[in-house]
């Protein structure tokens, strides 16, 4: 195995782990965001897992686009850029949720009672939904472009697109956590399928 194949296989594995972690993190995510819940070790563990899913997801996204780049249209490239930007934006909020808000929940529970997990604080109340829109548009454009060029396993890409739509809509804040959890499982499964497809492509 040469270095190029190794890098591509690592990119495939990044999608597998990213998909697995995001599905687990949101499936176990508490429905209530009270100070007691946010201050718990369980809350910390879930959000560390989600942070890992974002890191692996970013590397996995780069691997997906690397497989597609020679056939990408402008819309696919824009989708890739928007998707990466969305993961970076979401990571910023998740850092707050994992490492800052639990301290506030313990020291100043009244603050957490007012602002919850942090999505209602100042500019964050606008930036987090914006990140969700970038996620929805970015992954959708990229998946549609890949389907048009037929550069990766179609079923894996279609599953990722379906997961993107359900997950993105769920994260809009207008739907219950159950929709977000279903979307995360669909999206995570799509990423896992993409990762496996990338690895198998190197073995062919």
Over residues 23-67, the pLDDT tens digits come to 999 999 888 888 999 999 999 999 999 999 999 999 999 999 999
Residue 24 CB partners (closer than 8 Å, separation 6+): 49, 188
Judged against a pLDDT cut of 80, whether residue 200 lies above it is answered with yes
Distance (Å, whole) CA 141 – CA 83: 9
Phi, psi of 70 (to 5 degrees): -70, -20
Give the pLDDT confidence score for residue 124 in this predicted structure: 72
CB atoms within 10 A of CB 6: 11
Distance (Å, whole) CA 167 – CA 169: 6
Q: What is the DSSP letter of 69?
A: G
CA dihedral 105, 111, 117, 118 (to 10 degrees): -130
User: Where do the structural domains in the chain lie, given as residue ranges?
Assistant: 3-203
Q: Are 86 and 54 in contact (CB under 8 A)?
A: no
Judged against a pLDDT cut of 80, whether residue 186 lies above it is answered with yes
pTM: 0.90
pLDDT higher at 30 or 71:
71
Weakest-pLDDT range from 106-115, 117-126, 167-176: 117-126
Instruction: Return the residue matching tokens 């190029």.
Output: 4
Judged against a pLDDT cut of 70, whether residue 84 lies above it is answered with yes
Distance (Å, whole) CA 154 – CA 190: 11
pLDDT higher at 127 or 71:
71
Give the pLDDT confidence score for residue 33 in this predicted structure: 82
Distance (Å, whole) CA 43 – CA 16: 23
Give the pLDDT confidence score for residue 112 in this predicted structure: 82
Give the pLDDT confidence score for residue 173 in this predicted structure: 66
Over residues 133-164, the pLDDT tens digits come to 999 999 999 999 999 999 999 999 999 999 99
Classify the C-alpha dihedral 42-188-172-141 as positive or negative: positive
């Amino acid at each position: 195995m040469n270095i190029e194949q190794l890098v591509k296989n690592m990119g495939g594995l990044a999608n597998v782990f990213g998909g697995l972690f995001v599905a687990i993190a949101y499936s176990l995510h508490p429905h209530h965001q009270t100070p007691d819940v946010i201050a718990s070790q369980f809350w910390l563990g879930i959000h560390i897992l989600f942070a890992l899913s974002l890191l692996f997801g970013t590397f996995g996204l780069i691997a997906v686009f690397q497989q597609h780049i020679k056939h990408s249209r402008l819309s696919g490239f824009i989708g890739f850029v928007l998707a990466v930007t969305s993961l970076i934006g979401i990571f910023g909020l998740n850092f707050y949720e994992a490492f800052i808000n639990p301290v506030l929940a313990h020291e100043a529970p009244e603050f957490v009672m007012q602002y919850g997990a942090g999505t209602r604080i100042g500019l964050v109340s606008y930036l987090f939904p914006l990140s969700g829109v970038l996620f929805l548009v970015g992954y959708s454009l990229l998946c549609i472009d890949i389907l048009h060029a037929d550069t990766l396993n179609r079923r894996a890409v279609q599953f990722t697109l379906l997961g993107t739509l359900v997950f993105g809509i769920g994260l809009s804040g207008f739907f219950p956590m159950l929709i977000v959890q279903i979307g995360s499982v669909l999206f995570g499964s799509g990423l896992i399928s993409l990762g496996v497809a990338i690895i198998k492509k190197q073995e062919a």
